[in-house]
Homo-oligomer: A and B are copies of this chain.
Amino acid sequence: MFSIHYRDNSCSARTGELCLPHGPVTTPAFMPVGTAGSVKGLEPLQVAELGYRLILGNTYHLFLRPGLEVLSRFGGLHRFTGWKHNILTDSGGFQVYSLAQLRKMHDEGVEFQSHIDGSRHFFTPESVVHAQRVFGSDIQMALDYCTGFAVDRQEAERAVRITTDWARRAAQAWRALDEDYHGLLFPIVQGNFHHDLRRRSAAEISELDLPGVAIGGLSVGEPFPVFEEFVAATAQLLPFDKPRYVMGIGTPEYVLSAIEHGIDLFDCVFPTRAGRNGLAFTDRGRVVLKHAMHARSEASLQEDCDCATCRQYSRAYLRHLFKAGELLGPVLVSRHNLRFMSRLVERARAAIAGGRFQQFKREFLAGYGRGES
């Protein structure tokens, strides 16, 4: 199901292939986020053209809207949205933590009120597995208990205990699903920013012997060096031969750090959110289209980018679209940013295969850090 093709012997970076129900995915892979069943501003065919074969959906959002009844009637998310490749859905744990109102964590599950209409709901590890079965998720995530950067040790311990318990229950529910369903289940390692708790969580989660493992509770407000310390330490505690997924990272710096430490999958809203706000990624740093320096620029966002935005439009025109509040601006820059991210991981994979990932990372970040703005 997961095979490792190349390892870079100067670090923990590796390339591989993950076989999923809707086709193979080359790793390391960045996953665009389609929260409510749409990668914001782009059509499924466009997302595939940008090089993606695996996108992410949010259980919390999809459960609330359009809801299980509609998705069940359509036979799942793939047919509902028209996306023909793989979908990973998160478990809702993070959104309950970050979005929902009046959240109460019980040992049994989590009670919350919808941020949309205030309606009351209760997620259990089992109900979340069944919801993702209705979605037809190619990878589903076990319900977890996410904590922020500055919680006390007692809450961090409780989160580890509950996350492990829920992962066991999710595994049991997932193993009992019908035979027609071939989606995988990944549990999530928590432990906040305590190395002993990360070790305990990683050991308990790995013991479940599920098809992959995620590292949760990172990129929740901690400084970059702390992220890097914990991603490196936690990755080492995970089974070597299973795909590893770090949730919620999507800037070039974070993604390259995760790859260096042996991570295979990551997702983030940042490339599309930045794109919607006129912030474009380039090899020479971020371009802020609203800045006056781009007003007369005939250059594309990035000269050697093969995306349909760079092949057709100047920075001056893109800037104009944002200044004039035109709908097309967010669409065009989101598309470029997603292509930038898929090219970044393509280049990272090539560097790993050539045993020169560290050099690639150093050179890329030196150029990126210069900053176009």
Binding site for B on A (CB under 8 A): 36-38, 40-45, 61, 65-66, 70, 73-74, 80-82, 276, 295-296, 298, 308, 312-314, 316-317, 320-321, 323-324, 326-328, 330-332
Contact = CB atoms under 8 A, between A and B. Distances in A.
B326 A296 contact: no
Contacts of A331: 41, 327, 331
Contacts of A80: 314, 316-317, 320
Contacts of A44: 312
Contacts of A43: 308, 312, 328, 332
A317 B324 CA distance: 29
A136 B36 CA distance: 42
A66 B295 contact: yes
A324 B65 contact: yes
Contacts of A37: 317, 320, 324
Contacts of A312: 43-45, 82
A66 B327 contact: no
Given A66-B320, A296-B73, A313-B82, A327 B40 contact: yes
Contacts of A70: 295-296, 316, 320
Contacts of A314: 74, 80
13 contacts: A36-B320, A38-B326, A40-B327, A41-B328, A43-B328, A44-B312, A66-B320, A70-B320, A74-B298, A80-B317, A80-B320, A82-B313, A327-B331
Nearest to A308: B43
B320 A65 contact: yes
Contacts of A81: 317
- How often does this chain occur in the complex, in copies? 2
A342 to B, nearest CB: 19
A36 B327 CA distance: 11
Nearest to A329: B38
A28 to B, nearest CB: 27
A161 B53 CA distance: 64
Given A66-B295, A296-B73, A41 B316 contact: no
A301 to B, nearest CB: 14
B41 A324 contact: no
Contacts of A61: 324
A276 B328 CA distance: 12
A323 B332 CA distance: 23
Contacts of A332: 43
A320 B81 CA distance: 10
Given A40-B327, A42-B328, 15 more contacts: A37-B320, A38-B324, A38-B326, A38-B327, A43-B312, A43-B328, A43-B332, A44-B312, A45-B312, A65-B320, A65-B323, A66-B320, A70-B295, A70-B316, A74-B316
Nearest to A327: B41
